[in-house]
Amino acid sequence: MSIKSQDSSSSTDADLFMSSKDRGVLEILICEEKLKDRINMKTALRILNYGHVSDAQSLGQGLRKIESRNFTHIIFQARRSDISSAEFLQSALAKCPMTVFLAASFEPTIDNIFSLLIGGARGYLVCPFTMEALDTAIVQATQGEGFPEELLMAKNRNEALMSMTMTNLDRVANTLRQSKKFDILKHQIDRDMEKFRTSANMAKIFCEGGENGFVSSLEKFAERRSSQPATKLGRLRKRLNNSRSS
């Protein structure tokens, strides 16, 4: 972990903001069995001015702490300790459904993170983490829109990830083009670019088949996109021609 002090009331992306006052009232529980990792995370959260930080040496101990105390956020290891991470999340959500859960993993490419997102986790943290990454994960999980249901429930995950990424890329390109005519749109460029970066990173992490799966899915998506008409009028003509020939 790289610990660097920063302004605790700074925004972590173009849309989201958490004030020092908001950070100070949070109750965060860390469930991590490795002592060094647990200490690193506690130290980083305190430097970032997050209010009250507690820890548990296992997922089972974390469940017992939930019985006697309320937490606004729980950061938990996405691997088995005395119980599985899926069992922990299911039981913890039943006890405190309003809590924000973040799954932490040194191997975010494996399916366990994605299954935990489907199971109700609001976000994930890639380890080893930086101060900025930890802060961003918490703020996004707290104030962000969460993962699209169409992505979590998609039958073809790679296709859904590519579609989301390329839709965001199209939005960036359109904003850049329109901002040359309308100055009012220039402030939106950073926001749209951040959404594209986030979706591209998610696609790289969660594509089935790893990096090869990511590249293969991107190639297939680009091939399908290239065969489609480039304009709305062209797409309408194609639909009309298809309907006439059928």
* Within-domain flag for 123: yes
116's tokens: 């935990």
Q: Coil, helix or strand for 53?
A: strand
Q: What local confidence, expressed as pLDDT, does residue 231 receive? A: 53
* Within-domain flag for 9: no
Q: What local confidence, expressed as pLDDT, does residue 101 receive? A: 97
Residues 117 and 27 both lie in one domain: yes
Single out the residue in 92, 126, 143 at which a domain terminates.
143
Report whether pLDDT(160) > 50: yes
* Within-domain flag for 109: yes
Specify whether the CB–CB gap between 73 and 52 falls below 8 A: no
CA atoms in the 13 A half-sphere facing the CB of 83: 16
Q: What local confidence, expressed as pLDDT, does residue 12 receive? A: 41
Residues 36 and 81 both lie in one domain: yes
Residues 36 and 111 both lie in one domain: yes
Could you read off the pLDDT of 79-131 as tens digits, one per residue? Answer: 999 999 999 999 999 999 999 999 999 876 666 788 899 899 999 998 999 99
Report whether pLDDT(241) > 70: no
Q: Which residues of 176-196 are buried (b: 16+ CB within 10 A; e: fewer)?
A: eeeeeeeeebeebeeebbbbb
Residues 136 and 72 both lie in one domain: yes
What's the total number of domains in the chain?
Answer: 2
Mean of the pLDDT values across residues 201-224?
A: 83
Reported pTM:
0.73
Residues 136 and 186 both lie in one domain: no
Residues 139 and 56 both lie in one domain: yes
* Residue of 143, 192, 124, 135 whose CA lies nearest to 10: 135
Per the structure, the complete domain to which residue 207 belongs is given by 149-229
Single out the residue in 143, 164, 179 at which a domain terminates.
143
Q: Give the residue carrying structure tokens 């494996």.
A: 110
Residues 25 and 136 both lie in one domain: yes
Q: How far apart are CA 76 and CA 58, in angstroms?
A: 9
Q: What local confidence, expressed as pLDDT, does residue 29 receive? A: 98
Residues 199 and 110 both lie in one domain: no
Tally of CB atoms within 10 A around 115: 16
Q: What local confidence, expressed as pLDDT, does residue 10 receive? A: 37
Percent of the chain with pLDDT over 70: 84
Could you read off the pLDDT of 162-187 as tens digits, one per residue? Answer: 888 888 888 999 999 999 888 888 88
Could you read off the pLDDT of 1-47 as tens digits, one per residue? Answer: 444 433 433 334 446 789 999 999 999 999 999 999 999 999 999 99
| 14-18, 145-149, 165-169, 226-230, range with the lowest pLDDT | 226-230
* Within-domain flag for 187: yes
190's tokens: 């950073």
Residues 157 and 62 both lie in one domain: no
Single out the residue in 143, 170, 187 at which a domain terminates.
143
Between 130 and 243, name the one with better pLDDT.
130
* Within-domain flag for 2: no
Q: What local confidence, expressed as pLDDT, does residue 190 receive? A: 87
Q: How far apart are CA 34 and CA 159, in angstroms?
A: 36
CATH number of residue 80's parent domain: 3.40.50.2300
Q: What local confidence, expressed as pLDDT, does residue 94 receive? A: 95
Q: What local confidence, expressed as pLDDT, does residue 245 receive? A: 55
* Within-domain flag for 3: no
Q: What local confidence, expressed as pLDDT, does residue 237 receive? A: 55
